[in-house]
């Protein structure tokens, strides 16, 4: 039976020290972040996802953004080598968790860098953002690992936001959604729908038309409702201050047979 598991990591008490690269830093409330993270995990569970917690890493302020540590394709976990050096220690425990879950594990090697938040998967197509965090060697290694498994890798320039998925994600029908000022090359995407809010660009597909999204994007939620989807809003204000979004707080494992 296909699994519906989601890997998550609880925020570090030092989360306020997390990286901020494309916006002004504002103060983060670590207690509120923990509460918001618990509600996020609860929303996943309420919609049928079993949450699996990878080991907490108090010394890694950005460890909660677990999406950046791995790219999943079928049952293969490609452990990343994050572009920000401070984030590299985050991958070890994720690798252990995924190996325990029965994934086949592969790695990005030096000089490659790649962040999971730069990889948007739509069916068998993997769009990969080439920006501050993911370099050309990282893109080449992504191709080498996943093309033989049937993936099509499409590289996309990213300069306005930290990660490709800070700018675009996709609806269940494959339509790419994005906030236009943040997208370098919208014409790369065959079907593209602009959204009116920056945090409206991020959805986690919960199944059956339900879209987990940030409470900070009410106009976009209205647009999606109007298109026949069911938005599931969660307040992630403390993660947004660190340029995080709903997608980067979990890794959904959809194709494991366990
Ligand atoms: N995939 C993502 O959008 N990850 C968010 C990472 C935020 C973290 N503060 C960082 O800059 O790495």
Q: Distance between CA atoms of 70 and 240, rounded to whole angstroms?
A: 21
What per-residue confidence (pLDDT) applies to 257? 60
Domain 2-257 bears CATH identifier 3.75.10.10: yes
The residue with tokens 């086949």 is: 104
Dist. CA 1 → ligand 1 center (Å) = 32
What per-residue confidence (pLDDT) applies to 255? 77
What per-residue confidence (pLDDT) applies to 218? 98
Nearest CA residue ID for atom 1, ligand 1: 117
Nearest CA residue ID for atom 9, ligand 1: 19
Dist. CA 62 → ligand 1 center (Å) = 7
Q: Distance between CA atoms of 115 and 142, rounded to whole angstroms?
A: 11
Instruction: From 11, 62, 81, give the residue whose CB has the most ligand 1 atoms within 8 Å, as the site to mutate.
Output: 62
Domain limits of the chain?
2-257
Atom of ligand 1 nearest to the CA of 163: 3
Cβ neighbours, 10 Å, residue 193: 16
Atom of ligand 1 nearest to the CA of 116: 1
C-alpha distances in Å from residue 218, one per residue of 87, 162, 199, 200, 239: 32, 23, 10, 8, 17
Atom of ligand 1 nearest to the CA of 118: 1
What per-residue confidence (pLDDT) applies to 1? 53
Dist. CA 20 → ligand 1 center (Å) = 8
Q: Distance between CA atoms of 22 and 9, rounded to whole angstroms?
A: 24
**What are phi and psi for residue 209, nearest 5 degrees?**
80, 0
Residue among 146, 145, 143 at smallest CA distance from 155? 143
What per-residue confidence (pLDDT) applies to 256? 75
- Please classify residue 228 by burial: count the beta carbons closer than 10 Å to its beta carbon, then call 0-12 exposed, 13-18 middle and 19+ buried: exposed
What per-residue confidence (pLDDT) applies to 197? 98
Atom of ligand 1 nearest to the CA of 133: 12
**Radius of gyration for the chain, computed over Cα atoms and rounded to the nearest angstrom:** 17
Q: How many CA atoms lie within 13 A of 17 on its CB side?
A: 10
3-state secondary structure of 183: coil
Q: Distance between CA atoms of 206 and 165, rounded to whole angstroms?
A: 17
Q: Which residues contact 144 (CB under 8 A, 6 or more apart)?
A: none
C-alpha distances in Å from residue 124, one per residue of 152, 162, 173, 249: 6, 24, 13, 22
Question: Is the interface score ipTM higher than 0.90?
Answer: yes
Name the region of 48 (left: φ>0; alpha: ψ -120 to 50; beta: rest): left
Nearest CA residue ID for atom 8, ligand 1: 19
What per-residue confidence (pLDDT) applies to 3? 75
Q: Which residues contact 77 (CB under 8 A, 6 or more apart)?
A: 70, 71, 95, 98, 99, 103, 104, 105, 106
Dist. CA 241 → ligand 1 center (Å) = 10
List the end-to-end C-alpha distance of the chain, in Å, as a whole number: 7
Residues with CB under 6 A from ligand 1: 18-19, 21, 62, 65, 67-68, 84, 87, 117, 162-163, 165-166, 242-245, 248
Dist. CA 162 → ligand 1 center (Å) = 7
Nearest CA residue ID for atom 5, ligand 1: 244
Active site residues: 163, 248
Q: Distance between CA atoms of 58 and 86, rounded to whole angstroms?
A: 13
What per-residue confidence (pLDDT) applies to 134? 98
What per-residue confidence (pLDDT) applies to 174? 97
User: Tens-of-pLDDT digits for all 258 residues of the chain?
Assistant: 567 999 999 999 999 999 999 999 999 999 999 999 999 999 999 999 999 999 999 999 999 999 999 999 999 999 999 999 999 999 999 999 999 999 999 999 999 999 999 999 999 999 999 999 999 999 999 999 999 999 999 999 999 999 999 999 999 999 999 999 999 999 999 999 999 999 999 999 999 999 999 999 999 999 999 999 999 999 999 999 999 999 999 999 987 765
């Amino acid at each position: 039976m296909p699994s519906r598991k989601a890997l998550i990591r609880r925020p570090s008490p030092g989360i306020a020290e997390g990286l901020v690269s494309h916006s002004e830093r504002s103060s983060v409330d670590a207690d509120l972040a923990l509460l918001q993270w618990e509600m996020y995990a609860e929303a996943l569970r309420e919609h049928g996802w079993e949450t699996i917690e990878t080991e907490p890493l108090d010394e890694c302020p950005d460890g909660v953004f677990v999406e950046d540590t791995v790219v999943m394709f079928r049952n293969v976990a490609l452990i990343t080598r994050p572009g920000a050096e401070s984030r590299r220690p985050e991958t070890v425990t994720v690798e252990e968790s995924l190996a325990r879950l029965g994934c086949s594990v592969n790695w990005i090697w030096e000089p490659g860098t790649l962040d999971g938040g730069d990889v948007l998967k739509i069916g068998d197509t993997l769009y990969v953002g080439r920006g501050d965090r993911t370099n050309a060697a990282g893109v080449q290694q992504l191709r080498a690992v996943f093309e033989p498994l049937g993936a099509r890798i499409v590289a996309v320039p990213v300069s306005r936001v930290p990660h490709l998925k800070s700018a675009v994600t996709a609806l269940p029908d494959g339509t790419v959604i994005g906030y236009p000022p943040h997208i370098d090359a919208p014409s790369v995407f065959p079907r593209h729908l602009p959204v009116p809010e920056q945090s409206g660009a991020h959805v986690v597909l919960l199944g059956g038309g339900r879209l987990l999204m940030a409470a900070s994007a009410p106009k976009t939620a209205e647009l999606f409702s109007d298109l026949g989807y069911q938005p599931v809003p969660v307040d992630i204000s403390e993660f947004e201050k660190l340029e995080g979004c709903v997608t980067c707080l979990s890794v959904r494992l959809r194709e494991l047979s366990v």
